[in-house]
């Protein structure tokens, strides 16, 4: 269960995972159905077919679930026009603020999921329910309130910074009983915590990299849930995300100007020229850096702003695609006005352009203050755009820094910096620029990065094992 799923509806990495993990699980013998809300973009897929389950009144209006097969996925789509038929961002209203009824919208998703978990749908009942992020966190709380036998649940945390905290006055409206609203249950400092409920009541908790699983136990990263997670430490597992190797394949990617492979890298040059032209940059002797990111405090891009003069001094260029906080959008817009030939900025969300940047830039910068897994650096590896990452979470787990030892051992795939400060990033960017001048070492690193396994195989097997263990335990 999740609130987004690529390619149907995406605001971030969660969608990529929900769109690709089920296919990988299928290869290990797990049959998956994905429960999603029916946003406007999805409603044209369900058409007028008969629903598999109806709710006369699901938190304020009629609702139904349709079982459909699209993009090689079996979906269960929760149609509830009073909750999901809204244009624009799936979480935000036209004023840029959260929809005022997000608590109802996502409690309804959990409530419908709990119904399916208990009673099944169209002759099918799940053996396991895997929940993703706060939008689905209430499901185990609803199951805890039920007297029937229920399947085991797994709460997967993709980002603990988003917890779904709502006014406790909503408890009755959300059909939650007061027994679950305790410090060891759904209560978080007087509010209803959707993610907290998920962590407290699920049978197992996973997150999206081993290092983030450790970090979450500390107050610095646990964001108030570290105590609960320490109490559940034995049930907490970190499994690194994979990527969809078909969608993200430089040999076939339709969004590239030229396709290429690890044996024939020439196409990268044409993609690079296309990026340089599109962003209005000049050709230079230094590397072309990419950023593809939400522009938020988490992503640490304010640190990069401080490094721009040094980048320009190294004859490097930067192509940034992103959107988010106004001060960061304005900061990068200013930088591109100040250095128009060196810094190109596109504010917005553009899936095809994100592929082209990975297919033609020399390095991709991910300076996150915290990063549960991160996908951009995995796409960078797959496309030979060497990742420059902060040493945190999944970034630290997936990129091997080009220090002297790693270069000598032929295993470096990118660059890490720590602590996560502008100074450390600056020094690392200078280090990248220097290494870039050694064309032989750089070319070798590109090939090594492209061969680095970033698919789902290993991780899908790890999920499969958790599912099997839970089923045999229950």
Q: Which of 173, 249, 259, 323 binds ligand ADP (CB under 6 A)?
A: 323
> Which residue lies nearer to ligand ADP by CB, 12 or 210?
12
The token pair at 173 is 């409206």
Q: How many residues bind ligand ADP (CB under 6 A)?
A: 17
For residue 12, report the phi and psi dihedrals to the nearest 5 degrees: -170, -160
Which parts of 314-375 fold into alpha helices (H)? Answer: 326-338, 351-360
Closest CA to 362 of 279, 240, 272, 460: 272
**With contact defined as beta carbons under 8 Å apart, do 460 and 242 qualify?**
yes
Residues comprising the chain, all counted: 474
Rounded to an integer, what distance in angstroms lies between the CA atom of residue 362 and that of residue 370? 24
267: contact with ligand ADP by CB under 6 A? no
Regarding 468 and contact with ligand ADP (CB under 6 A), the answer is no
Nearest-angstrom CA–CA distance, 386 and 8:
29
* Residue from 23, 82, 278, 294 binding ligand ADP (CB under 6 A): 294
Our finding on whether 13 is near ligand ADP (CB under 6 A) is: yes
Asked whether position 23 contacts ligand ADP by CB under 6 A, the answer is no
In the complex, minimum distance from the CB of residue 21 to ligand ADP, in angstroms, rounded to a whole number = 13
Comparing C-alpha atoms, which of 209, 117, 218, 201 is closest to residue 157? 209
Please select the residue that binds ligand ADP; options are 20, 206, 354, 416, rule is CB under 6 A.
354
Quick one: tokens of 184? 């060891």
Mapped onto helix, strand or coil, the DSSP state of residue 364 is: strand
First-to-final CA distance of the chain: 21
CB nearer to ligand ADP: pick between 14 and 180: 14
Q: Which residues pair with residue 387 across a beta bridge?
A: 364
Smallest gap from residue 301 Cβ to ligand ADP (A): 11
Residue 161 beta carbon to ligand ADP: minimum distance, rounded to whole angstroms:
9
**Residue 187 interacts with ligand ADP (CB under 6 A): yes or no:** no
Q: Which of 12, 40, 120, 210 binds ligand ADP (CB under 6 A)?
A: 12
Pattern 361-380, ligand ADP, x by CB under 6 A: -------------xxx----
Given 113, 286, 322, 367, the residue binding ligand ADP (CB under 6 A): 322
Question: What letter does residue 49 receive in the DSSP assignment?
Answer: P
> What is the distance between the alpha carbons of residues 309 and 422, in angstroms, rounded to a whole number?
12
**321 near ligand ADP, judged by CB under 6 A:** yes
Tell me if 113 contacts ligand ADP by CB under 6 A: no
CB 377 within 8 A of CB 364: yes
Please list every residue from 331 through 350 that binds ligand ADP, using CB under 6 A. Answer: 349-350
Only one of the segments 74-82, 127-135, 232-240, 316-324 lies at the binding site for ligand ADP (rule: CB under 6 A); that segment is: 316-324
Give the closest residue to 175 by CA, choosing from 91, 120, 116, 103: 103
Work out whether 351 is an interface residue with ligand ADP (CB under 6 A): yes
Q: Is the separation of the CB atoms in 377 and 291 below 8 Å? A: no
Pairing of strands 386-390, 415-417: parallel
- Would you count residue 292 as binding ligand ADP (CB under 6 A)? yes
Tell me the window of 6-14, 219-227, 268-276, 434-442 that interacts with ligand ADP (CB under 6 A): 6-14
Q: Is 390 in the site for ligand ADP (CB under 6 A)?
A: no
Contact flag: residue 4 with ligand ADP (CB under 6 A): no
**Binding of residue 210 to ligand ADP (CB under 6 A):** no
Taking the complex as a whole, the smallest distance from the CB of residue 180 to ligand ADP amounts, in Å, to 29
Closest of 428, 192, 455 to residue 287, by C-alpha: 428
Tokens representing residue 265 in the block: 């890298």
Instruction: Rule CB under 6 A: say whether 30 interacts with ligand ADP.
Output: no
Site stretch for ligand ADP (CB under 6 A), options 13-21, 106-114, 306-314, 463-471: 13-21
Q: What are the beta bridge partners of residue 55?
A: 63
Minimum CB–partner distance for residue 221 and ligand ADP (Å): 14
Q: Quick check: 289 and 318 in contact, CB under 8 A?
A: yes
Q: Which chain residues interact with ligand ADP by CB under 6 A?
A: 12-14, 16, 292-294, 321-323, 349-351, 354, 374-376
């Amino acid at each position: 269960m999740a609130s987004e799923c690529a390619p149907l509806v995406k605001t971030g990495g969660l969608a990529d995972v929900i769109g690709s993990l089920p296919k990988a699980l299928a290869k290990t013998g797990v049959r998956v159905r994905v429960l999603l809300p029916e946003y406007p973009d999805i409603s044209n897929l369900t058409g007028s077919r008969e629903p598999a389950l109806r709710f006369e009144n699901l938190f304020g209006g009629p609702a139904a679930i349709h079982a459909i097969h699209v993009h090689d996925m079996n979906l269960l789509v929760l149609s509830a026009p009073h909750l999901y038929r809204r244009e624009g961002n799936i979480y935000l209203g036209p004023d840029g603020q959260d929809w005022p009824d997000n608590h109802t919208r996502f409690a309804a998703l959990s409530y419908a999921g709990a119904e399916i978990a208990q009673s099944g749908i169209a002759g099918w009942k799940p053996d396991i329910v895997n929940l993703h992020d706060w939008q689905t966190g209430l499901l185990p709380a609803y199951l805890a309130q039920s007297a029937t036998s229920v399947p085991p649940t797994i709460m997967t945390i993709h980002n603990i910074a988003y917890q779904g905290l709502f006014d406790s006055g909503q408890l009755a409206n959300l059909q939650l009983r007061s027994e679950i609203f305790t410090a060891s249950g759904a209560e978080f400092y007087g509010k209803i915590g959707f993610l907290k409920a998920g962590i407290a009541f699920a049978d197992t908790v996973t997150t999206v990299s081993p290092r983030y699983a450790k970090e979450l136990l500390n107050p610095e990263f646990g964001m108030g849930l570290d105590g609960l997670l320490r109490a559940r430490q034995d049930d907490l597992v970190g499994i690194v995300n994979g990527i969809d190797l078909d969608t993200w394949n430089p040999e076939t990617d339709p969004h590239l100007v030229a396709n290429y492979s690890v044996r024939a890298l020439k196409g990268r040059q044409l993609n690079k020229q296309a990026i340089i032209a599109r962003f209005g940059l000049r050709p230079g002797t230094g590397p072309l850096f990419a950023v593809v990111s939400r522009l938020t405090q988490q992503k640490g891009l304010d640190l990069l702003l401080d490094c721009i003069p040094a980048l320009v001094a190294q004859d490097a260029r930067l192509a940034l695609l992103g959107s988010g906080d106004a001060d960061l959008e304005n900061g990068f817009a200013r930088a591109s006005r100040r250095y128009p030939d060196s810094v190109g900025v596109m504010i917005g969300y553009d899936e095809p352009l994100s592929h082209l940047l990975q297919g033609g830039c020399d390095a991709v910068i991910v300076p996150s203050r915290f990063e549960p897994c991160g996908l951009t650096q995995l796409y960078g590896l797959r496309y030979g755009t060497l990742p420059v990452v902060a040493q945190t979470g999944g970034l630290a787990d997936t990129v091997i820094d080009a220090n002297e030892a790693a270069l000598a051992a032929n295993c470096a795939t990118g660059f890490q910096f720590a602590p996560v400060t502008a100074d450390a990033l600056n020094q690392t960017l200078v280090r990248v620029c220097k290494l870039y001048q050694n064309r032989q070492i750089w070319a070798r690193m590109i090939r090594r990065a492209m061969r680095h396994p970033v698919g789902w195989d290993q991780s899908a097997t790890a999920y499969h094992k958790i599912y099997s263990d839970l089923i045999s335990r229950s």
